[in-house]
A and B are shown apart, each in its own frame.
Chain A
Amino acid sequence: MAAAAAAPTVFLLMVNGQIESAQFPAFDELYCKYCFVYGHDWAPTTGLEEGISQITCKNRDAQQALVWNFPIDITFKSTNPSGWPQIVVSVYGPDLFGNDVVRGYGAVHVPFTPGSHRRTIPMFVPESTSKLQKITSWLMGRHPEFTDPKVVAQGEGREVITVRSQGFVTISFNVVTKDMKKLGYDVSPSDMQNP
């Protein structure tokens, strides 16, 4: 134990928090899925990598927020900050005919610095390629979807798609890191260095 503490070979990143709420003014009865996308040098040690939330309905006040409060808890170990984990959130809900339809995709990096953070992610969905397809997709209740929601965490191949933005999702993170500084990665802000 002492030896491991003296010479760590990996650093740990513990993330917990929750997918708090969403703003989708036009839709109701939504649920969301999340998953983490990370680089080659990362591995989850404990916790759930993906999850699916309950369905939530709008509250009745003026804000019309959709609250899930869906907890996230995961710990990663890594040897390389490249490929820092991102959380990918996709929101689904029924359309007019009761078909399950995607309402938004979004991704954000897990914050680098220890502490608690709140992130609001703007969400988007892929658009139909033509007007006709838009109509048929509406009729059939089969809107275009990403083949893999993880697409939104990568930059490659985005030039071929068109998206429309709709809604926001708010996530809160509590981040704890271990051994990062020992391994030479200084992520804490300057005011935390010399308190």
Chain B
Amino acid sequence: LYIIPYKTRNSLPPVPSTSRTSFAEFSIRERMREKLKAARSKAENALLQEDPNPRPRHLKSLKQRESETRWDKEVRNTMCMVACSICCHFNKKVKVQTDFPSAEEAYKFFTFSFDPDPENIKDETKSKKKSESNQEEEEGEEQECVVSHQQEQTEDGMDEEDCLVNNREDLFIIDQMARDFLVVKPAEYKSYSERLQKEREILFTPSILTVPMSQKVPENMQPRYIEDEGLYTGERPIVSLSNQNILENRILRQEWFGDDGKLLALPSPIKQYSTRPPIFSLEEGIEPELETLYRKAMKPMHANQYIVGSGDPQGQFQLDIDISGLIFTHHPCFSREHVLAAKLAQLYDQYLARRQQNLTKLLTDKLHALRNAVQSSLDNSGTSFLHIYIYRQTRRLRDAEQEKDRTLLKTIIKVWKEMKSLRDFQKFTNTPMKLYLRKEEVDQRSDKKIYEAEIQAEINELLEEYMEEYEKKMEEYKTELQEWKSWKKAQTKKKKKIKQSQDQEEEEAENSEYVEEPVKPIPPKLADSLEVEQQVREKAINIRRKPGEPVLIPELSLTGSVTPNDLCPRAEVLRREDVKKRSLFLKVLFNTKEVSRTISRQISSDFRVHFGQIFNLKIFNWPESLKLQIYETMGFSSTNLLAEMFIPVPETTVLTGRARTEEIEFSSNQRVMLDHEGVGSGVPFSFEADGSNKITLMTSGKVSSSVSWAIGENGVPLIPLVSQQKTGIPSALKNIDAVASIGTSGVTDMKKLAKWAAETKLDPNDPKNADLMQLIMVATSGDACVPGFFRLEQLQQEFNFASDEELNRSKRFQLLQLRHREVAEFRNYKQVPLLEREITEKLFENYEKRLRERDVIDSKDHLDAHRALVAKYLQKVRESVINRFLTAKHHFLLSDLVNEEEVPSLGNLGLSLFKLAEPKRPLKPRRKERKKVTAQNLSDGDINLLVNIIRAYDIPVRKPVLSKLQQPSRSSRSFNEMFAASPSPQSPTRSIDWTFNQVLVHPFVEVSFQRTVCRTTAAEGPNPNWNEELELPFRAPNGDYSTTSLQSVKDEVFINIFDEVLYDVLEDDRERGSGIHTRVERHWLGSVRIPFSTIYFQTRIDGTFKIDIPPVLLGYSKEKNLGNERSYDSVRSLSEGSYITVFITIEPQLIPGDPVREKFDTQEDEKLLQAAEKYQAECALKFPSRQCLTTVVDINGKTVFITRYIKPLNPPQELLNGHPNNSQAAAELVARYVSLIPFLPDSVSFAGICDLWSTSDQFLDLLAGDEEEHAVLLCNYFLSMGKKAWLIIGNAIPEGTTAYVLTWEQNQYVIWNPSNGRCYGQFDTFCPLQSVGCLISFDNIWFNIQQYDSPVRINFDISKPKLWKSFFSQSLPYPGLSSVQPEELIYQHIDKAAALELQGRIEKILKEKIMEWRPRHLTRWNRYCTSTLRHFLPLLEQFQGKAVEDDHQAELQKQLGDYRVSGFPIHMPFSEVKPLIEAVHSTGVHTIDVSNAEFALAVYIHAYPKNVLSVWIYIASLVRNR
């Protein structure tokens, strides 16, 4: 081997000795790096030419990588020596040295065995080691081992480079290219002296001597000190004088000096970041693993923080309140000595504060400076009035301050003396306080001299001042005198004249003139210098220390000893014991609610209490007030409130860790008198023996605390945005506080901050803003270099199988990720294609569309911006709830996984034994429960909906086509006649027609569900009996039969009743004998709608439902009692409606999903919740089938006690105004208003989650809700109208578990169905409410413990404890729960214009739809009819669809006599357009296919307050009679 590594180096002086120091500074590394860089760039060039292979990407297996890097390392070891040989293998992996060990290096350091390369570096290592140690000593650099090791390896190699060049050929055979890269040159050398010579020519060494002032300041100018003129200059950082001198010398020739002879510079020229280039170069130094990636900021998703009305989800905010302690400045238990001690302490504090400020000194200095300035200005350019004025002002100030100092000192001494005398008098000490007066001797002579000089100067100045004044006055005097003289002259002249002319009158005239005569001015007195001196001296004696008098510095210490108890008199001992008994604690009140309290601490003998507690308040509301209350406890007796104090809510800039502890004073005006040595409070006492000079002190003290905003885990301050603050902040404040005006989040955004600064025109020179300006400067200049990075998991990159971009780019990965996240569109996506190209773009279309539209409010579907907004909001809430549900789905219970037999109870055993004796085939068999099927293993076609149509009552019957002349028969019929069993007088004539020509009605039922339609056969008569079973297939959305998806099926089962009408269409009468030619027409009569979700949850629906029949059915009438049927009819007809009996179920039976088992967080009292749970358990034990509700979940997912929802709330005033004296009508109108709010079951919107109860204002904001929201709102309205109202929780058909409202009116109970606004008497058989579980009022819950639960059979008298079990009773009194409802509801005014516009749009849409549904026919619109219909609709709204039928029909008949009209108005609450279209479609009016049919369609929207809309659609088909 041929290497001689270091000998050469050692023999040579490595660096010139002159630059010894620079050697350390300009490190070898630097030079080395340059060389290395040069070599590398060459190598890379060569590489680029030679190696066409692509560079290895960093996405390589770890194994491969390791081998590569290891090899790399070896390369580096040898690189310097054999730089050329590397080039062919050199790749990007070779790094420039950095100061930080990269991940790779770190890895290598631990894994690489530092074996020398056996082939070529054997003896190198030896010498290397040696040199290493040498070098380290030499350089004295403390470096990390790795760094130095590697550094020096390369470094050494580099140094050798030159000498190695010659030998290279011997070393390696492959290094043919050596010469391509290195230029060989002989070493240059110049002799030392020669070099010095040269240097002298070039270099200039500034001297270190101070530059005389005259050279720095322009000629004929005096240095000017801005600071002394009282202007603000910053504080310069300390720079050593010599350096400063050097710099000054260096730039002397240029005009770089300010007026004061100092260098012109910024107050602090130090930059906030280093200006030196970073040690590693940015372009190539960063390894790919360590590159900082930019990731877009993501907004965190808040799961449950939705607050209606505010778009922004609130974060969590935290206030930290640190209460460190409390000191009493007066306390009733203070002894006299304590009073004095407190006073002394206070004075001493004041003294310290003053000394800290040292105003006197400051002002004195200023005075001196000003005096000089005045002097110089006097010398230079005459007087400067401003300076003089400032000077005098300052002098006055200084005198005042001096006087204050002096008196303070005097008072301290006086109090101390009093205290001493008190201690002597009472013969014990209570406080450890001691005052020392330190005397500082002064040099008497010089002191005197200064004193005298000061006085002289002052005298002179005063004299000058007086002089000036005198001069001024003199001037005035002179002018005045002049005036006077002239006047005098004039006077004398006048006199003479008068004397000459008149004699008598002159006297009077003169008299009068003498009055006006100006007083002769008195010349001003010149100030007497002696007098002035006297004055000055007197003042000086008063306010200043006498010359030669020692300076007195008081020092307060607590070193004195307190007399022990046994040496004290009895009264004092009593006092001390009393103090011991007392203890204190503090309550923290946030927005006047107590949030926490400190522990109770005893008052110590020095009346200090230490708490040292920090309270972290997580807040949701904007802090309006923060209050501390101090409570004192005496022994075991009760606590009393000592004092309250308000703490200011910290500014948004005050963060934890930076907040200063502040002392807040408090005092109380309680009068306390004590029977011992304690002086009490509010009680006059005296220090004098004779009781004179009384003083009265109140309990007072100071609490030291600090309040600040907490900083979150990620360093973000937890401060609410100011915009959310309810109380308006004054705009002046807004302009000044950056944080207040742009929010805390804005502060982190420097650009925003800078913009703000520019906008508000912050004064950049104001020292107050210095911090901010600097921050902005640094941030906006952009060259602030964050020193590198810190990576926690440095190997993480290695395990990533693809980079994030790749993941985002790849459609397949996207698909997989989305499926994993259980995004609705992809939840059960099967067989994700393996190859990218097989995935079509279409797959994502829906999903992306949904994402896009999430924030875009599309009014196309909704026609109404507000409703669109609400729909979006609901969507958002739904998403968050579903997300929660999805996570909850992954929590399993034992019963989910394992089937286990219940332990049979004895009762069960007995029952099952009893069952054995039962008859096998009982006479009245019970419906057996079918086997239930878990939903997951079902597929399309497995599930059917069974609808059993049994019978209907009171179907409207056709009216004969009347001629125009005939009077409408029934309009005149009175109410009483309806009950009469006898037919009306005209009927015999008509009934002949009817009975012979036509049946009354030919009804059939059509059931449509999910676009499948089934119909029964047509029956006859108004009371048809079908008894047919229809089977409709059920398809789950997306073929997903999981419980979640089944729950969210929104489809409804429409049960439509039609009349089948036969028309004779025979064209030719002659054929009548031989053929029948009729056309069948169907006329819609009414419908019943049952949501699928109800069927799903109820498993079966069995009952009689009221058919929704439009208020007007053209061509039909409700013929009651026409056929002489059973007498039962007359009873039933009371209820005025048509009914249908159906039975609906699903085959096979599906198990409804369980409600989510999730414990919701709550703000309720734990005790209350426990009581609620117990109550519910007890109720469920007695009557398991009855509903019992105590707590519900609000829209934020929090458990809320149910009674909090009940509270009187004002209904819209407009509704009440309508019927000012008819409360019944008003109640009905209110119920109608509530029923007009669209219905949206929770189970649909929040699949799988139990009911969410929104408060009434949220409900009105959302304009959608299910039964309980309707019921709560109605109940609250009734309460505010002065009714007695309760919420009923019970079962009804078809809703299942639901909420109704019960009111007590005119000695009877009335049950209201809030969803449709109908009311029923308690004994109404057709009341849909089937059972009553519990009643809820604002202050209690009553559970029904009667034998029966049907409303007809129970007693609603809740005062009977045997019938109703109340929640709050004597054992658990009602704690006065606050309501969650708002104080009052605010209603927007009715926007009639918008309603009108909406009306037009809906009409247009519906017309288009009808034309669309009739593709084979021409759809003609009868304008005349339409306008007539439009005219009718407002009337219908006004009468709520009652009692207009006949008049209306008559009128229509009159106007459209030649037409056969069939049609009806549909009434719906408005939520979206789609339900309206569905409703119109389901009536099948468009299905008429008579070629000459015409249509009429009118829409009317009546707007109620708060944007509640009632929609009327009148649709009719007209066929011309021939």
Contacts and interface: CB of A to CB of B under 8 A. Distances in A.
Nearest to B838: A9
B901 A136 contact: yes
B834 A142 contact: no
B1457 to A, nearest CB: 68
A146 B899 contact: yes
Given A9-B833, A10-B834, A160 B894 contact: yes
A156 interface: yes
Given A9-B835, A40-B828, A80 B816 contact: yes
B893 interface: yes
A157 B896 contact: yes
A159 to B, nearest CB: 8
B389 interface: no
B768 interface: no
Contacts of A157: 890-892, 896-897
B830 A43 contact: yes
Interface in B889-922: 890-894, 896-901, 903-904
B831 A41 contact: yes
B819 interface: yes
A144 interface: yes
14 contacts: A9-B834, A11-B834, A40-B831, A43-B831, A79-B834, A80-B832, A133-B903, A144-B901, A145-B899, A146-B899, A147-B897, A159-B892, A160-B892, A161-B897
Interface in A61-84: 78-80, 82
A183 B834 CA distance: 8
Nearest to A135: B903
B60 to A, nearest CB: 15
Interface residue range, chain A: 20 to 34
A43 B831 CA distance: 8
Contacts of B828: 40
Interface in B806-853: 816, 819, 828-835, 838
Interface in A115-130: 126, 128-129
B810 to A, nearest CB: 13
Nearest to B830: A40
B899 A136 contact: no
B901 A140 contact: yes
Which one of B832, B835, B897 has the highest number of Cβ atoms from chain A below 10 Å of its Cβ?
B897
B500 to A, nearest CB: 135
A151 interface: yes
Contacts of B894: 129, 160-161
B1151 to A, nearest CB: 12
A144 B898 contact: yes
A54 interface: no
Contacts of B890: 156-157
Interface of A: 7, 9-11, 40-43, 78-80, 82, 126, 128-129, 132-133, 136-137, 140, 142, 144-147, 151, 156-161, 183
Closest 4 CB pairs of A and B: A157-B892, A79-B834, A144-B900, A142-B901
Contacts of A7: 835
Contacts of A133: 900-901, 903
B893 A160 contact: yes
B832 A40 contact: yes
Contact of B898 (A9, A41, A140, A145): A145
A103 to B, nearest CB: 15
Given A40-B819, A151-B897, 10 more contacts: A40-B829, A42-B831, A133-B903, A144-B901, A145-B900, A146-B897, A156-B892, A157-B892, A161-B897, A161-B898
Contact of B900 (A80, A128, A151, A156): A128
Contacts of A80: 816, 832, 834
Nearest to A183: B834
Contacts of B897: 126, 146-147, 151, 157-158, 160-161
Contacts of B838: 9
A147 B831 contact: no
B1198 to A, nearest CB: 27
Nearest to B904: A136
B903 A41 contact: no
B899 A147 contact: yes
Contacts of A158: 897
B832 A79 contact: yes
A147 B896 contact: yes
A159 B900 CA distance: 17
B1118 to A, nearest CB: 55
A41 B833 CA distance: 8
A65 B816 CA distance: 44
A106 to B, nearest CB: 16
Q: Chain A CB within 10 Å — which of B890, B896, B899, B900 has the most?
A: B900
B229 to A, nearest CB: 78
B899 to A, nearest CB: 5
Contacts of B830: 40-41, 43
Interface in B845-900: 890-894, 896-900
A155 to B, nearest CB: 11
A10 B838 CA distance: 11
A49 to B, nearest CB: 13
A136 B834 contact: no
B901 A137 contact: yes
Interface in B1037-1072: none
A137 B894 CA distance: 16
B832 A41 contact: yes
Nearest to B894: A160
Contacts of A78: 831
B832 A126 contact: no
A145 B904 CA distance: 18
Contacts of A40: 819, 828-832
Q: Name the residue in A40, A126, A151 with the highest tally of chain B Cβ atoms < 10 Å from its Cβ.
A: A40
A187 B838 CA distance: 24
Given A79-B831, A156-B892, A137 B900 contact: yes
Contacts of B899: 144-147
Contacts of B896: 147, 157, 160
B903 A79 contact: no
Contacts of A79: 831-834
A161 B816 CA distance: 30
A162 B833 CA distance: 39
A9 B835 CA distance: 7
B533 to A, nearest CB: 98
A144 to B, nearest CB: 4
Contacts of B901: 133, 136-137, 140, 142, 144
B373 to A, nearest CB: 84
B838 to A, nearest CB: 6
Nearest to A159: B892
A66 to B, nearest CB: 25
Contacts of A9: 833-835, 838
Contacts of A42: 831
